[in-house]
Amino acid sequence: MSIFQSSAFEGHEALHAFHDEASGLDCVIAIHSTALGPAGGGVRYWTYPDDQAAIDDALRLSRAMSHKNAMAGLELGGGKAVILGGPGKPKTPALFEALGRAVESLGGRYWGAEDVGVTPADLAHARKATRFMAGLEGHPAASGDPSPVTAEGVRRGIELCVRRALGRPLSEVTVAIQGAGHVGGLLAQKLAADGSRLILCDADEARAAEVAARTGAAVVAPDLIFDADCDVFAPCALGGAVSAATLPRIKAKVVAGGANNQLADAAAGQALFDHGLLYAPDFVINAGGIINVAAEIRALERGEAYQPAWVEAKLGQMIATLGDVLDRSQAERRPTNEIAVEMARQRIAAGRRP
């Protein structure tokens, strides 16, 4: 099968591969859509089993970013950069400067930001070679680490879903958080402040213990998080958490978290609906980070300072959009993920019209 016939490539405008021998950079940048604006999406540094796995991940994530940006009402399309990490490929300033040159060669069709395995400090090195990097620090337009805004958006989304599905406040629910990284750890802190009871896991035991010490959460082994006695299951690690294998083990009535591509496939969304679980589509509920990044891009393009009020307004719109998705799902008797994808595609198609 050619790359153009693969289901992962479907709908994409472009796929770029970059190699820099001096720094060791091997990078893939996928651009799904620029209908609504330049493609915006994070830079991920990860170890993949092979090149094809990295390409497929970039393609899936860039499509998700198109949907996310459209549903968040942003003037951005969808894209994703994936740096192939692993033994002999350490993160270095030279590696990220090479990334910056790769991004610059796309002429503004793609804006990068922080994602898994990458920090604002890493992207500061990329910024030396291109202006098309956001989520940075140290200038008037800077938005900084987007993780806190992502976590706040997820918290608000969980609150809405709990109210809809259970008729209870956050102080009366138990939330199982899969992943205690940047977003998961901050989400745990916010929910603990709301009075929620927490169960969490992380592949890094020390990190899980540190977040638990701050939040009073119970810690379980990563595989046991699916069996947790909880009201809300919040995937905040890598994708594919909800599948035919894990769904029968989930005791929660609400699935809502910060991870991208939480469903292993569309069938998992239908199964969630059929089993009576309320699912907050990931690319709707976790858009806080890209909203924050969009505020920086907007400020840079206008020569203005970062505006927290603009971000707050967009977060409010994001939760209203989630409410619309939940309303339509109930009225039309269709899964929320199906509704949300349909809405996103309609917005993208409208952007392509003359």
For residues 354 and 351, what is the distance between their CA atoms, to the nearest angstrom?
8
Q: Which residues of 232-266 are buried (b: 16+ CB within 10 A; e: fewer)?
A: bbbbbbbbbbbeeebbeebebbbbbbbbbbbbbee
Q: What is the residue type of 131?
A: R
Give the alpha-carbon dihedral of 110, 112, 115, 119, to 10 degrees.
170
Answer yes or no: 253 catalytic. Answer: no
Q: Is-contact 252 174, C-beta < 8 A?
A: no
Distances (CA, A) of 353 to 77, 78, 79, 132, 271: 14, 17, 20, 26, 35
For β-strands 232-235 and 254-255, DSSP reports them as: parallel
How far is it, in rounded angstroms, from Cα 261 to Cα 309?
29
Which residues touch 149 (CB under 8 Å, ≥6 apart)? 288, 289, 291, 292, 311, 315
Distances (CA, A) of 276 to 251, 264, 302, 343: 11, 18, 46, 22
Q: Which of 80, 190, 253, 314 is catalytic?
A: 80
Of 331, 333, 343, 288, nearest in space to 135 by CA: 288
CB atoms within 10 A of CB 179: 29
Q: Which residues are catalytic?
A: 80
